[in-house]
Amino acid sequence: MKYLLLLAGLLGLAVSAGAVPTVSVQMRAIPATHSFVCRYTITLAADDTATTLALNLGRQLRIENLLSSGNATPRATRVYYPYFGDTLQQVVARFSGRARTVSLTYSGTPEGRLFNEQVMVFSGHSGWLPFRPYREYEEVNYVLEVQAPEGYQVESNSAAVEQRAGRWLFRGRAGAIEITALVARQFQQLASAGAPGIRVVKAGPALARTDTVLLRKAESIIAYYNRSIGQQDPITHFTILLPGTNADAFGMLENATVITYTDFDVAADREALLILAHEISHKWWGYGSVHDYNDWLNEAFATYSSLLYLRESGDEDGYQAELAKRAATVGNAPPIRGFDYRKHPRPMYRRVVYNKGTAVLAALHTRLGTEQFVRLLATVAARHVRSTDELLAVVEQQAGLKTRAWLLAEISR
Ligand SMILES: [Zn+2]
């Protein structure tokens, strides 16, 4: 019995390790010209029998070299992609044998808002990595090697596994475009004393009082999530990256979030606290497609998780006010189920996918009560639910047919 279990465990590991593509990224950062050179190699999982592989890449990047394990030479063409508009080129490789590997060498300059005098940001919103069409957030196992000139340091979602002579090596499992490198002359770091190990990594010469407050709040948020939505799949380590480029904030599957705002004070500002809690929760809420209404599985769930934390921290009035603010925008908004963002002006996306989704989750919470609702969220999180149909199946299993029918009606009206 023991042997069988052990074998099953080994097979399970082999299957999960083999089920996603393997990616190797070798990048040389050139801060003097704000540019970089990158060699990106992707190998499809053994059980992936695709005979062609398409990769999208920002059109502003110059492809220097293309290699494929297939017969035909991969070709690069311009491509229109709704999510990013008319900004991409596409490489297509065709395979005949078993090995399905494509290697791409390219160079370029990240967008202006992604670097300043202090830092270069290569991350989820930098457009620096290729990705399979409509799969920018698919998980990949990666090795990242970054080369930076003397006097520079490199930080990523986790600590380097190796560092010597201007080279940093990182390993992990991340969303395809979420492999991250921050390159700067100086970093400051704060770390929590106990478990889970939480780091705040800031580019620049000095820490501020707000950075310590940020670490304490992150500890409090993660402790709450680990006993609620993350109870089946808790956070054991987490990194908050602060590049100081003042562009945006985003959470990633790989236990990390990038917050670029320079005036981010989670003690003084409820909105900042909600952003932090929202982005941390994307560690669990990042498996729905960002190309259709299933994005509510990411954004509404992250938003409602942040409101749950607000309530947990004692701010019941804040919880009610934030909920009411969102509910007030959903009056005549179209149904969540089937919502097509291309048919509506931009602000409708937030009203439907974020706000209406949040209102539906609040109603589900009321219907089930906190204990059952949180248990449901924890199951949805642990199963990496990718579609609304999968969600409905989990709801049926945990809360019954009637609640499934009720939820289906809520997202269909
Ligand atoms: Zn979000």
Does residue 8 lie in a domain region?
Answer: no
Average pLDDT in the 329-357 region?
95
Same domain (yes/no): 77, 216: no
Does residue 175 lie in a domain region?
Answer: yes
State the distance from the centre of ligand 1 to the C-alpha of 298, rounded, in angstroms: 7
SS3 label, residue 52: strand
Same domain (yes/no): 225, 90: no
State the distance from the centre of ligand 1 to the C-alpha of 217, rounded, in angstroms: 18
Average pLDDT in the 14-30 region?
81
Same domain (yes/no): 89, 168: yes
The whole-number pLDDT of residue 71 equals 66
Same domain (yes/no): 386, 350: yes
Report the 3 state secondary structure along the chain.
CHHHHHHHHHHHHHHHHHCCCEEEEEEEEEHHHCEEEEEEEEECCCCCCCCEEEEEEECCCEEEEEEECCCCCCEEEEEEECCCEEEEEEEEEECCCCCCEEEEEEEECCCHHHECCCEEEECCCCCCCCECCCCCCCEEEEEEEEECCCCCEEECCCCCCEEECCEEEEEEEEECCCCCEEEECCEEEEECCCCCEEEEEEECCCCCHHHHHHHHHHHHHHHHHHHCCCCCCCCCEEEEEECCCCCCEEEECCCEEEECCCCCCCCCCHHHHHHHHHHHHCCCCCCCCCCCHHHHHHHHHHHHHHHHHHHHCCCHHHHHHHHHHHHCCCCCCCCCCCCCHHHCCCHHHHHHHHHHHHHHHHHHHHHHCHHHHHHHHHHHHHCCCCCHHHHHHHHHHHHCHHHHHHHHHHHHC
Does residue 1 lie in a domain region?
Answer: no
More confident residue, 114 or 50: 50
Evaluated on CA atoms 270, 272, 278, 281, the torsion sign reads negative
Average pLDDT of the chain, as a whole number: 92
- Structural domain ending residue among the three candidates 259, 281, 303: 281
Share of the chain above pLDDT 70, in %: 93
State the distance from the centre of ligand 1 to the C-alpha of 222, rounded, in angstroms: 16
State the distance from the centre of ligand 1 to the C-alpha of 296, rounded, in angstroms: 10
Beta bridge partners of 202: 188, 242
State the distance from the centre of ligand 1 to the C-alpha of 196, rounded, in angstroms: 23
More confident residue, 325 or 12: 325
Q: Summarize pLDDT for 188-247 with one digit per residue, the tens.
A: 999 999 999 999 999 999 999 999 999 999 999 999 999 999 999 999 999 999 999 999
Same domain (yes/no): 180, 47: yes
Q: Summarize pLDDT for 385-401 with one digit per residue, the tens.
A: 999 999 999 999 999 99
* CATH code (residue 393): 1.10.390.10
State the distance from the centre of ligand 1 to the C-alpha of 241, rounded, in angstroms: 16
State the distance from the centre of ligand 1 to the C-alpha of 151, rounded, in angstroms: 35
State the distance from the centre of ligand 1 to the C-alpha of 269, rounded, in angstroms: 18
* CATH code (residue 72): 2.60.40.1730
Does residue 10 lie in a domain region?
Answer: no
For the chain, the domain total comes to 3
pLDDT surpassing 50 at residue 325? yes
The whole-number pLDDT of residue 115 equals 80
Q: How many angstroms separate the Cα of 46 from the Cα of each of 66, 67, 411?
A: 22, 19, 38
The whole-number pLDDT of residue 70 equals 75
Token representation of residue 13: 């590991």
CA 133, CA 78: separation in Å to the nearest integer? 13
State the distance from the centre of ligand 1 to the C-alpha of 8, rounded, in angstroms: 36
State the distance from the centre of ligand 1 to the C-alpha of 250, rounded, in angstroms: 7
The whole-number pLDDT of residue 98 equals 73
Which residue segment(s) compose the domain that 325 sits in? 293-412
Same domain (yes/no): 148, 201: no
State the distance from the centre of ligand 1 to the C-alpha of 247, rounded, in angstroms: 15
pLDDT surpassing 90 at residue 95? no
The whole-number pLDDT of residue 79 equals 73
Q: How many CB atoms lie within 10 A of CB 83?
A: 13
- Structural domain ending residue among the three candidates 186, 205, 231: 186
Does residue 13 lie in a domain region?
Answer: no
Q: Summarize pLDDT for 64-87 with one digit per residue, the tens.
A: 998 888 766 667 777 776 666 678
Q: Nearest to residue 61, comparing CAs of 165, 137, 131, 148?
A: 131
Same domain (yes/no): 203, 71: no
DSSP symbol at 334: P
The whole-number pLDDT of residue 8 equals 36
State the distance from the centre of ligand 1 to the C-alpha of 100, rounded, in angstroms: 33
Burial class (CB in 10 A: 0-12, 13-18, 19+), 237: middle
State the distance from the centre of ligand 1 to the C-alpha of 285, rounded, in angstroms: 8
CA 136, CA 124: separation in Å to the nearest integer? 9
Same domain (yes/no): 182, 194: no
The whole-number pLDDT of residue 50 equals 87
The whole-number pLDDT of residue 96 equals 74
pLDDT surpassing 50 at residue 177? yes
Does residue 5 lie in a domain region?
Answer: no
Does residue 251 lie in a domain region?
Answer: yes
State the distance from the centre of ligand 1 to the C-alpha of 77, rounded, in angstroms: 31
State the distance from the centre of ligand 1 to the C-alpha of 371, rounded, in angstroms: 24
- Structural domain ending residue among the three candidates 164, 186, 208: 186
- In the chain, helix, strand, coil percent, each to 5? 35, 30, 35
The whole-number pLDDT of residue 49 equals 85
State the distance from the centre of ligand 1 to the C-alpha of 257, rounded, in angstroms: 11
State the distance from the centre of ligand 1 to the C-alpha of 51, rounded, in angstroms: 34
Same domain (yes/no): 200, 334: no
**Residue type at position 396:** E
The whole-number pLDDT of residue 116 equals 80
State the distance from the centre of ligand 1 to the C-alpha of 53, rounded, in angstroms: 29
Average pLDDT in the 312-320 region?
97
pLDDT surpassing 90 at residue 7? no
Average pLDDT in the 15-41 region?
88
State the distance from the centre of ligand 1 to the C-alpha of 94, rounded, in angstroms: 35
State the distance from the centre of ligand 1 to the C-alpha of 300, rounded, in angstroms: 8
Same domain (yes/no): 272, 312: no
State the distance from the centre of ligand 1 to the C-alpha of 349, rounded, in angstroms: 13
Contact 40, 108 (CB under 8 A): no
Same domain (yes/no): 35, 151: yes
Average pLDDT in the 245-252 region?
93
Same domain (yes/no): 264, 392: no
pLDDT surpassing 60 at residue 1? no
State the distance from the centre of ligand 1 to the C-alpha of 394, rounded, in angstroms: 22
Token representation of residue 359: 């209102």
Contact 9, 17 (CB under 8 A): no
Beta bridge partners of 35: 30
